[in-house]
Structure 1
């Protein structure tokens, strides 16, 4: 039986944990070879050993501008092609704006916005040449709602949501699909930066998603017929909408 992503090469950033890891596992099960890009070398080695030979580690710090430029070229040199980019790496700054560390704001905007834009641009070039490719960016429910406890984070996701939707309109003529996944709160390390009262409230009410649930939607987006683009999926725990 042919698997839906058989023969495809995928690149996932921030792949060592959370949504990135769950997305990697889902694509591996669907037959893809997946390059796991992450700065956590100690996590990547045992992960790839567990996941098998189709999981390829790539240790890289995307906040290093010079290293970031090598991301896609390294994948192409190793695998010869790139069919899927899941631009997932990101960070979180929550709480009141007046309490935010300016250095943390700079780092978050760079990783959540600038790095995503540069990674997507680099991936589009070989995809356009081949006339086929998929880009999925991890956005957030915060891109669609002015969340009062995370103005900095929400602003970064509003920016990237605009980027995804405008870029999609530029490249669809080349046979490329660009979309985003916008989950509500997901059980990942990013929640460690949530205000304690909001996190306690979410846990008590069952208002958190599991990364595997997000990965299932990503796989759905990737396996639609080529004439269909799922441009943005907003998903949340039902209780979170109450």
Structure 2
């Protein structure tokens, strides 16, 4: 443990699995107090038992407007401060648009876009008052390239790329850094909706990365001197063809 984040309080949405869990573990190992946000209470309780008291559970359903609105105030009651907000929670829709239901589109856009905007909006007054903070969003390589087999997902990540890069300019004067990490395909539950043939080929070709490799990128971004902002870090499997 290097202690690079001693005394810091980090909040990570979607913290009970995948990239979120890997980032929780990485920040804890570097001395931070980490609030893991998830709707899965049982998973959060298991994490707390395994990772210790520096891992703080926050049960929030980001798709429930009242629960989403209460997230930042509830965390501040528990921790008193938020130094880092990592908006990581998200969902995935792949395949042809004609095969996607309107309800699934609403759910994904609400989680991938609306919840991120609301979480960032909620934390701005706290960070601005302190004159410091870091906001990171888990985006995707799909936010930089139009992926033909995932038009709804790609659209949501393009929206987030725009949101991050415009908000970054607004918040810089308040001492708040804003950036995004944009992974290629990551071995996680989100890939369950991938077309089976695409997933099979990716596994066979080594065109997938582990959540911990994305967490490494997040820690690199957060540990830069305050005069340096990594506005977008694209993390790809070396054999991912796009």
CA distance in 2, matches of 1:86, 1:124: 13
Tell me the residue number matched to 1:41.
41
5+ residue gaps, structure 1:
none
Per-residue CA distance 1:130-152 (angstroms, 9 max, x = gap): 00000000000000111000000
Q: CA deviation at 1:241?
A: 3.1
CA distance in 2, matches of 1:226, 1:2: 18
CA distance in 1, matches of 2:217, 2:235: 9
Q: 1:54 to 1:199 in 2, by over 3 A?
A: same
CA distance in 2, matches of 1:83, 1:74: 15
5+ residue gaps, structure 2:
none
CA distance in 2, matches of 1:4, 1:176: 18
Tell me the residue number matched to 1:217.
217
CA distance in 2, matches of 1:40, 1:33: 20
Q: Any runs of at least 4 consecutive aligned residues in structure 1 with deviations exceeding 6 A, and if so which?
A: none
Name the TM-score, length of structure 1 as normaliser.
0.98
Name the TM-score, length of structure 2 as normaliser.
0.98
- Please give the residue correspondences for 1:1-242 in structure 2 after superposition, counting only pairs within 5 Å: 3-241=3-241
CA RMSD of aligned residues (A): 1.0
Per-residue CA distance 1:151-193 (angstroms, 9 max, x = gap): 0000000000100000000010111100000000000000001
Number of aligned residues: 242
Partner SS state of residue 224, structure 1: coil
